[in-house]
Amino acid sequence: MDVMLTEQQRLWREQVAAFARQHVLPEVEAMEQGQFPRTLIAKMGKQGFLGLPIPAVYQGLEADFTTYIIAIHELSKVSATIGVIVSVHTSVVTMPILAFGTTEQKESYVPLLASGQKLGAFCLTEPTAGSDASSIQLRAEQVDEHYILNGTKIFITSGGEAELYLVFAVTDPASAKKNISAFIVEKDTPGFTIGKDEKKMGLHGSKTVTLHFDGVRIPKEQLLGAEGEGFRMAMSSLNAGRIGIAAQSLGIAEAALTEAVTYLKQHPAGLETTIRLGDLAAKLEAAKLLVYQAAAYKEANRPVTKEASMAKLFASRTAVEISTEVIHLLGMDGYTNRYHAERYFRDAKICEIYEGTSEIQRLVICKQLI
Ligand code: CAA
C-alpha cells in the first residue's frame, strides 16, 4: 500500500501518527468513560486536522483528499471515536458547505469549521427514516423570509456538542418523492433542543443524540443549495463520508491486528493459531487497496459512488472480522480490558451500520452495476 503514497503523504502520515500517540492515546481512557474529547478537538483544530482537505483561503490545510483519508486511518488506529468525529465534521458538513454553499455561507462557516472553532453535525436520520433516507418527515415550511422547522432527528453524531448542524428537511410535501432541502442550523437557535443521549456498545467518547426542532425559525439564507436538491446533496456527501468510515474501519482493523502480532510474539502459540494472522493481514491489505483506490477516485473528481460503497462494505466487514478473531487469538486476555482488543471489537461493529448499512452499500453497488 505504501508504494501508492507520495513522499508528502507519507510525511503527513508520520505527523498525524505522532499526534495520535502524543495527544490522543492519553485521552482514550477518559473517552471510554464517556467524556467527549473537547480539549482534543481544540488541539486538532489548531493543528489543522479539522480542515485537512479544505482550501487555505478558508483556513484549511489544503491537503489532498488521500491525505485526509490517511489522517482518519491513523487517528482511528488510536481512537475510533476521534476518527468518526473528524470524518463526520469534515466529509458531511464542511465539504458540502464548501461544495454547495453561497459565497456568504462559505465565508461565514467554512473557516470556523476548518479551524475547529465550530464542530459540525450531519442530521439526516429520523425515527421512521434510517436506510430509506428519502422518507424523512422533518418539515421546513417557508414563511416570508424564513423557514420554520418542525420534527425530530435521531442518532446524530456529535449532536449537542456541535455548534453547526446540517439538517435535511422536506420543503414540499405535496410534490413528488425526495423534495428535500438542506439547512444550516446554529446550535443556539430557539426551538432547537437536544434530546436522548444514547448509551452505546462502543465509541463511548462520541455523542449520539436525538434532536428536536420545535418551530425553529431560520433565515432563508441558511438554505444550502437549491430547494429540492437536499437529497442528492446528502447522497453525494455520503460518498466522501463512506470513504472516511472505511478509513476508520482500517484504523480499527490495523490496530487490532498489530495488538495480536505483539501478543503472539510475547505469548508464542501453536502454528495453527499463528498462521491465522496470514489471512487477517491479507484481508487488511485488500481493504486498504479498496479504501485508497476510492480516495484516489474522489481526488481525481471521478464518479466514486460504487468505489466508496465497495470500500466501506469491505473495510467495515474486515474490521469486524479482524477484531473478532483477535479477541479469540488473545484468549481470556482479549476478553478483559488489559488489552485494547475488546475496545476494537466493540468499536468495529458500528462501521457496518452507520453512513449506510452493509445492505445499503450492496444496493448502491448493484444500482451502479445494472
Ligand atoms: N451519490 C450521488 N448521488 C446519489 C447517490 C450517491 N451515492 N445515491 C443516490 N444518488 C442520487 C441518484 O442518482 C438520484 O438522482 P436523480 O434523482 O437525479 O436521478 C437520487 O439521488 C435518488 O436516488 P435513488 O433513487 O437511488 O434513491 P432511493 O430513495 O432509492 O435511496 C439509498 C437510495 C441508496 C437507499 C439511500 O436512501 C441511502 O443511501 N440510504 C442510506 C442512508 C444513510 O447512509 N444514512 C446515513 C446517515 S448519516 C450517518 O450515519 C452519519 C454518522 O453518524 C456517522
The residues facing 170 across adjacent strands are: 139, 180
Domain ranges of the chain: 2-114, 120-228, 231-369
Buried b (16+ CB within 10 A) or exposed e, 31-41: bbeeebbeebb
Distance 151 CA to ligand 1 centre (A): 21
- pLDDT at residue 173, as a whole number: 86
pLDDT score, position 24: 98
pLDDT computed for residue 238 by the predictor? 98
Q: What pLDDT is attached to residue 96?
A: 98
Residues with CB under 6 A from ligand 1: 84, 88, 122, 124-125, 131-134, 157, 231-232, 235-236, 238-239, 305, 354-356, 360, 363-364, 367
- Residue range 2-114 forms a domain whose CATH class is mainly alpha
Locate the DSSP E strands across 318-369: none
* C-alpha of residue 128 to centroid of ligand 1, in Å: 16
Q: Would you say the pTM of this structure is higher than 0.95? A: yes
At residue 220, the pLDDT reads 97
The pLDDT score that the predictor gives to residue 229 is 96
How does pLDDT run along the chain (370 residues), one tens digit per residue?
A: 777 899 999 999 999 999 999 999 999 999 999 999 999 999 999 999 999 999 999 999 999 999 999 999 999 999 999 999 999 999 999 999 999 999 999 999 999 999 999 999 999 999 999 999 999 999 999 999 999 999 999 999 999 999 999 999 999 888 766 699 999 999 999 999 999 999 999 999 999 999 999 999 999 999 999 999 999 999 999 999 999 999 999 999 999 999 999 999 999 888 888 899 999 999 999 999 999 999 999 999 999 999 999 999 999 999 999 999 999 999 999 999 999 999 999 999 999 999 999 999 999 999 999 9
Looking up cell 428535500 gives 180
| Fold of the 231-369 domain | Butyryl-CoA Dehydrogenase, subunit A; domain 3 (1.20.140)
366 alpha carbon – ligand 1 mean position (Å):
13
What φ, ψ does residue 121 adopt, rounded to 5°?
-135, 145
CATH 3.40.50.80 fits 120-228, yes or no: no
Q: Residue 304 corresponds to which amino acid?
A: V
In terms of residues, how long is the chain? 370
Cα torsion 125, 126, 131, 136: sign? negative
Our separate counts of H helices and E strands in the chain read: 14, 8
Q: Is 33 helix (H, G, I), strand (E, B) or coil?
A: coil
